[in-house]
Chain A
Amino acid sequence: MKRFSWDEMMNRYPAFFAILLLVVALIINLILQPNMFARDTLNSNMRVFLPMILLAAGQAVVILGGGIDISVGGIVSIVNTILATQVGLNGSPEKMWAYVLVSLAAGILAGAINGFFIAFLRLQPIITTYATSFLYVGFALFILPNPGGGIPADIANVYRNTTPLGLPLAFYVIAVVLVIWMYIRSTRFGNYLYAVGGNAEAAYETAVPVTWVLFSTYVVSGFMAALAGIAITMLSGSGNAEIGVPMTLTSITAVVIGGTALSGGVGGVAGPVVGAITLGIIQNIISFSRIDTWWETFVKATIIVVALAAPGMINLLRRKKL
């Protein structure tokens, strides 16, 4: 029987701390909201968390490759405005499906634009995706200058109320995402991704197609952002060009809480998915604990900073003890 080693757990399983945090948050949430695991409550929570989970998964792939994607919120906005203006409140399911495909194509295209500038022109990811985020949010505002429009209620209800085998739809989506990720992780592309994120120069020297790997991470991120956009549109049922803007930074926080380092090459997609759920639960706890509205932002931000600082603090304390 091997002795439990904190360091080993932290190093071998980057998601370890994220799961620990999730358990703590779940327990607090369960105390405040005893019916949390009831079917309806669970479903209503998970359908709210799902867009951020999808977004964080895409962001994680980019960050693993050593980049960052600040334009994901803009892509969510574009998808939302496309669906809200083109399908409309009285659209048919066929029309919805057609524009879901258009949205996915738009997401892939937006990701490819990011990838082109970053991988092929070798621009710095932060500033490039920041610039494209202006392009994308601007384009979303161009499609829909004022909030309005939407998708038919019965289509939105499919997303809201489908619970196959009594489990929320989100569970199945998460399972599919994780299975696909585990498959990708085992392929040559998965190895390339970690190699490029760890040390792009060394990866290039060992004949890894660095440019194409980088390019593809942004395409994946664009695709996932489009999925997140579809999910949040079905959740809200209406259109708003600014809907994605606050989601960008939350997705990055989710990735980091999930143990995937911003320097690249360390972590995975499972951790960020857990991170996104944890952030959602923290929001839940805050709204259930009935704290003064004026204090809400401060409390939430402080909890997030403490959560981000905790692994570092533990390491610092342990080093002192030795």
Chain B
Amino acid sequence: MRRLSISPPVAAILLAIILFLLSGFLPNGFGNDINVAIAQATNIVRLAVFLGVIAAGQTLVIISGFEGIDLSAGSVVTLTAILTYVTVKGEDDKVLLALLISLAVGALIGFVNGLGITFLKISPFVMTLGMSGVVTGLIIIINHGNVSGKVAPIMTRLIARPFSSSIPIPNAIIIWIIFGILMWLLLERTTFGKHLFAIGVNRVTAKLSGVNVTATNLAVYSLAGALAGFGGFLVVGNTGVVFIALGQPFLFPSIAAVAVGGTLLSGGKGSYWGTMAGAIVLTLITSLLTTMQMPDSVRRMVLGATLLVMISIYGRQRGFRQ
């Protein structure tokens, strides 16, 4: 079987562009108006930022291999969003504190995941699934039906608004680009990144080559938790409201974005650029189906079918015969 030689992130971006151009032909699409088209494209990328940031932690744990996955990401997003909401209470000078709390709480939850996975030998799928339940329980206790709080004006300005009137790029996208560069540096230019790929390929050889597998694994899960926490902070800055089901809809799309971006779910190979592309594709498909006013049933089926097609093209494992 001949394989396509095009790299997954490029394929995902091409798919996004083709889909976007086709969407212009829809009755309520952008038609011939280039300005509307640019505005729509910008908006879709802006919406993809939140999924993209949440999927960053997911990318790290999946690259770390050993069936790595973080199913607690969704509930961590909700928890830190609520914590941010109640900490800030509409005051600008509490924003930094809220951000630190979000990162710390996320990292702590991720660290507990890491402890269970490395020392108690619980499989990541089940450990993070269980942790997701515990965090959801915590949210219900904290939330107690309703929370009082407010996001600060500075958060809305930094996350939801455009950079300036002459540069109509939303700040969220600028944050995401900086974030993407930092992720690239982390994965490709640091010892931690090298160790991460090493343990993803083969833990035994990594250990024999002097990589501290236990420490790296703990660090990966803590970092993934912290990134999910950062995601929660951004999400609440954008929406301005919190509710119990805020983060859960991001969970499986975050895994899908990683897979669509060409990161091997078995670990050891992948990139954050791919995940960013995957997040854009998934957000684009979802918002197209929404603007086409498809019923929920059709939306889900199209999303499922697209995902199947994407992974059929380049998500295939090596055949036994080779």
Contacts and interface: CB of A to CB of B under 8 A. Distances in A.
A301 B252 contact: no
Most chain A CB neighbours (cut-off 10 Å) among B140, B304, B305, B307: B304
A309 B120 contact: yes
A141 B297 CA distance: 5
Interface stretch (A21-29, A35-43, A120-128, A179-187): A120-128
B144 A294 contact: yes
Interface string A278-322: 000000000000000011111111101100110011011000000
A252 B125 CA distance: 9
Sort chain A's interface into a size bin. Answer: 35 or more
Interface in A115-134: 117, 121-124, 126-128, 130-134
Contacts of B144: 294
Contact of A141 (B252, B256, B300, B308): B300
A294 to B, nearest CB: 5
B318 interface: yes
B265 to A, nearest CB: 5
A301 B133 contact: yes
A210 interface: yes
Interface string B118-147: 011111011101111110111011001000
A142 interface: yes
Most chain A CB neighbours (cut-off 10 Å) among B138, B296, B297: B297
Contacts of B308: 117, 128, 131-132, 135
A68 B123 CA distance: 13
Contacts of B317: 122-124
Sort chain B's interface into a size bin. Answer: 35 or more
Nearest to A142: B297
A142 to B, nearest CB: 4
Contacts of A132: 304, 308
A142 B301 contact: yes
A139 B137 CA distance: 31
Interface of chain B, helix or strand or loop or mixed? helix
B311 interface: yes
Nearest to B144: A294
Given A130-B252, A134-B300, A301-B133, A261 B123 contact: yes
Contacts of B138: 298
Interface in A209-262: 210-211, 241, 249, 252-253, 256, 261-262
B312 A68 contact: no
B141 A295 contact: yes
B24 interface: no
Which 6 pairs show the lowest CB-CB distances between chains A and B?
A298-B137, A312-B120, A301-B133, A134-B304, A138-B300, A138-B301
Interface of A: 68, 117, 121-124, 126-128, 130-142, 145, 200-201, 204, 210-211, 241, 249, 252-253, 256, 261-263, 294-302, 304-305, 308-309, 312-313, 315-316
5 contacts: A131-B256, A138-B297, A297-B140, A304-B133, A309-B120
